[in-house]
Amino acid sequence: MIFDLDGILVDSEVHWRAGFRETIDALAVGAGLEPLGIPDDELVAYEGGRVPDTIQSLVRAYLPALAPLSPERLGEATDTCVAASSRRIAVEPRRIDDSVQAARDLHDAGFTLAVASSSAGAFIDAALLSIGLDDVFEVRESAFDVEHAKPHPEVYLKAMAALATDASRCVAVEDSVTGVRASLAAGLSTIWRTSAPRTLDGVVPLSEHDLRAPGTRPWLIAVTQVSSDTIASAYP
C-alpha cells in the first residue's frame, strides 16, 4: 500500500505556506528589501509542486530581480523552507484522522506501507513522527529524489521497487488530481479521497460499493473518507 502524504495523512499546506513566506522574506531581506509577507490567499495558487520549483516560481513573481536563483542559492532557500515547515508540523501535526487510522489498521493487519510524496524527505520524516506513524511506514520515497515530479509516475515506480512489488500487488491512496494521475500512470489501482470525482485519463471513478471487474484495472475508487476496508478491497 502506498500513501501520499500531504492531503492524505496530514493537512500540511498551512505549514508549507508559512515556510514559503519565511523563505521569500529571507531572500528579500538578503537583497536589501523589506519582508514581503505574502498572504495565504496568494500562496494558495502555488500549492502542490516540489519545493525548489515553487520557490523559483515565487521568486519570479515577487522578486523578479533575483530570478532565477542560482543552484546554490536555490539549494539554500529550499533548505530554509523545508526546515521551517518541518518545525511547524512537529509543533502542530494537523493529522487527517480517517487516513491515519486506516494506515495503522493496515499495518496491524500485516500490510507493508510506503509513502510516495512530493515533499522533502526531512518533512516526510517529521510529519510521520508528529502523527504517530513513524513505525508504520517502512518505505518513504520523495519526489525530491527523482528526475520527474508528479504527475509523472516515477516516485510511485520507485516506491514499488523499494517494496519489491509491482502494480498488480499494490494500491495507492491519493487526494490531488496530480497525484492520481501519477498513481494511475504507474498502473496502480487508486483510492481517491475527493468530494468531486471525475474521469481521469480515461479511467472512470467508481464508488466504494460498485462492482469491479478484475480485467478493468487499474481501478479508481472515489471516497470522501479513507478506510482500511476500502483500501484492502482494492488489493488483488
Give the confidence band of 167 by pLDDT, cuts at 50, 70, 90: very high
DSSP string, 89-105: HHH---B-HHHHHHHHH
pLDDT on residue 64 = 98
* pLDDT given at position 88: 95
The sheet carrying 171-174 orders its strands as 137-142, 113-117, 2-3, 171-174, 189-193, 220-223, 206-207
pLDDT at 236 over 80: no
pLDDT exceeding 90 applies to what percent of the chain? 86
User: Nine-digit cell at 60?
Assistant: 519570479
d(CA 29, CA 5): 32
* Band of pLDDT at residue 121, cut at 50, 70 and 90: very high
Which residue type is seen at 35? P
pLDDT at 42 (0 to 100): 96
- The grid coordinates listed for 42 are 496568494
Structure confidence by residue, pLDDT tens digits, 92-120:
999 999 999 999 999 999 999 999 999 99
CATH topology of domain 2-11+94-233: Rossmann fold (3.40.50)
Q: What is the pLDDT of residues 27-72, one digit of tens each?
A: 999 999 999 999 999 999 998 788 999 999 999 999 999 999 999 9
CB 7 within 8 A of CB 193: yes
Is the pLDDT score of 83 beyond 80?
yes
Over 80: is that where the pLDDT of 87 sits? yes
Q: Can you say whether residue 164 is alpha, beta or left, with left for phi > 0 and alpha for psi between -120 and 50 degrees?
A: left
Q: Is residue 36 within 8 Å of residue 28, measured between CB atoms?
A: yes
